[in-house]
């Protein structure tokens, strides 16, 4: 238990330190593809009129803003993150977009969500669940706060299949990305942690099965960009 708490503190500190350059690095290191990945993930969420959504591990608010940009009327989006520097960046972007009445922000942990049962019609977690100290508990919490029939969409990095392109990706991910990330962010460990955490995360098939064991049904997986990222969709069983 103490190890999990210490891990969470380390990750929280790391994201706080890289927050000033986080958006720039996302665009640079993904070659701009991160925007596309988020848009497709929100397509899977399929926002409708009057629904309530949770953007878990909202970071600087890109996914929350993408949800709020959709034409559905009367919806509300909560962006939750455990990093206050990230939330401050998100607040500035939300104010600039004039979506203050649609999006509200809250500090909190994904493994102990500060919401009642059955609070949301849909939940999305982009590049966040890999950083949980206790992923099974995080899935339990996601299911708890969703309404029966609610949609859970998880966007996460994944390892591409073996082959020439997969080898090029691994070289970029293991060698180039950490050096560029360290140089731009000024943080020596953050972008070394990224490839390690992706390599340690379950395969897309294993994670889909884990969602099924936690009470999600109609699970769909969509690998994008040669398997660099995967979108998982699960429905909370009624």
Question: What are the two backbone dihedrals, phi and then psi, of residue 215, each rounded to the nearest 5 degrees?
Answer: 95, 20
Q: What's phi and psi for 135, nearest 5 deg?
A: -65, -45
pLDDT band at 80; cut points 50, 70, 90: very high
Examine the pLDDT at 5 and tell me if it is beyond 80.
no
Residue 193 placed within a domain? no
pLDDT at 4: 67
Q: What confidence score (pLDDT) does residue 166 get?
A: 73
Range of the domain at 113: 2-18+31-159+202-236
30 confidence band (pLDDT: 50, 70, 90): confident
Alpha-carbon distance values, 94 to 28, 56, 58, 84, 113 (Å): 22, 16, 12, 15, 22
List pLDDT tens digits, range 84-136: 999 999 999 999 999 999 999 999 999 999 999 999 999 999 999 999 999 99
Q: How many structural domains does the chain have?
A: 1
- Supply the pTM of this predicted model: 0.92
**For residue 135, how many other CB atoms are within 10 A of its CB?**
18
pLDDT band at 206 (very low <50, low <70, confident <90, very high): very high
More confident residue, 5 or 56: 56
In the structure, what pLDDT confidence band is assigned to residue 2 with cuts at 50, 70 and 90?
very low
Residue 232, domain member (yes or no): yes
The domain that contains 50 carries what CATH number? 3.40.50.150
99 occurs within a structural domain: yes
DSSP 135-170: HHHHHHHHHHHEEEEEEEEEEEE-PPPSSHHHHHHH
Q: Are strands 103-107 and 146-157 parallel, antiparallel or unpaired?
A: unpaired
Confidence check: pLDDT of 35 > 80:
yes
Q: What is the pLDDT of residue 170?
A: 79
Q: What does the pLDDT read at residue 188?
A: 67
pLDDT at 227 over 50: yes
Instruction: Name residue 7's beta-bridge partners.
Output: none
Residue with tokens 């949301």: 120
25 lies in some domain: no
Element (H, E) at 219: strand 216-224
Rounded Cα–Cα distance for residues 7 and 138 (Å): 15
Residue at 173 is within a domain? no
Residue 24 lies in a domain: no
**Does the residue 71 lie in any domain?**
yes
Segment 136-189, tens digit of pLDDT:
999 999 999 999 999 999 999 998 877 676 788 778 878 887 888 778 777 767
Domain for residue 210, yes or no? yes
User: How much of the chain, in percent, has pLDDT values that exceed 90?
Assistant: 66
């Amino acid at each position: 238990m103490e190890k999990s708490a210490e891990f969470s503190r380390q990750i929280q500190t790391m994201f706080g330190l890289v927050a000033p350059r986080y958006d720039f690095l996302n665009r640079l290191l993904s070659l701009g593809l991160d925007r596309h990945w988020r848009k497709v993930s929100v397509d899977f969420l399929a926002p409708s009129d009057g629904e309530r959504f949770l953007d878990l591990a909202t970071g600087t608010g890109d996914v929350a803003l993408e949800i709020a940009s959709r034409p559905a009327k009367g919806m509300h989006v909560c962006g939750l993150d455990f990093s206050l520097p990230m939330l401050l960046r998100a607040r500035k972007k939300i104010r600039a977009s004039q979506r203050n009445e649609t999006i509200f922000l809250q500090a909190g942990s994904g493994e102990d969500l500060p919401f009642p049962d059955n609070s949301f019609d849909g939940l999305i977690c982009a590049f966040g669940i890999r950083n949980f100290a206790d992923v099974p508990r995080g899935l339990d919490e996601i299911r708890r706060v969703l309404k029966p029939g609610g949609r859970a969409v998880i966007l996460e990095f994944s390892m591409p299949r073996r082959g020439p392109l997969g080898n090029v990706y691994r070289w970029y991910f293991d060698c180039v990305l950490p050096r560029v990330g360290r140089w731009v962010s000024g943080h020596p460990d953050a972008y070394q942690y990224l490839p390690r955490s992706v390599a340690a995360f379950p395969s897309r098939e294993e994670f889909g099965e884990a969602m099924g064991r936690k009470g999600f049904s109609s699970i769909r997986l969509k690998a994008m960009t040669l398997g660099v990222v995967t979108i998982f969709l699960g429905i909370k069983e009624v």
